[in-house]
Amino acid sequence: MSHELQVLARIDDLFTRFGTTAYEGGRRESVSALEHALQCAQLAEWAGAPAPLVAAALLHDIGHFCEGVAGDDIHDDTHEQRALPLLGRAFGRSVLEPIRLHVAAKRYLVATEPDYAAGLSPASVHSLALQGGPMNADECEVFEAEPHAESALLLRRWDDAAKTPGKTTPPLAYYLSLLGDLAVGQAPARTVVAAFDAA
**Number of helical H runs and strand E runs in the chain:** 12, 0
69 DSSP assignment? P
Cβ proximity to Fe ion, 61 vs 97, nearer residue: 61
Cβ proximity to Fe ion, 97 vs 159, nearer residue: 159
| Sign of the dihedral through C-alpha 192, 3, 21, 65 | negative
Segment interacting with Fe ion (CB under 5 A) among 9-17, 57-65, 121-129, 177-185:
57-65
Cβ proximity to Fe ion, 47 vs 195, nearer residue: 47
Binding residues for Fe ion restricted to 124-163, rule: CB under 5 A: 159
Radius of gyration of the chain (CA): 16
CA atoms within 13 Å, Cβ hemisphere of 65: 23
Find the shortest distance in angstroms from Cβ 159 to Fe ion: 4
**Closest residue to Fe ion in the complex (CB):** 159
# binding residues, Fe ion (CB under 5 A): 2
Q: Are 156 and 105 in contact (CB under 8 A)?
A: yes
**Residue 64: CB atoms within 10 Å:** 20
Q: Are 107 and 134 in contact (CB under 8 A)?
A: yes
Find the shortest distance in angstroms from Cβ 89 to Fe ion: 22
Q: Using the rule CB under 5 A, which residue among 29, 61, 77, 80 binds Fe ion?
A: 61
Cβ proximity to Fe ion, 57 vs 182, nearer residue: 57
Cβ proximity to Fe ion, 61 vs 77, nearer residue: 61
For 159, the 3-state DSSP assignment is helix
Binding site for Fe ion (CB under 5 A): 61, 159
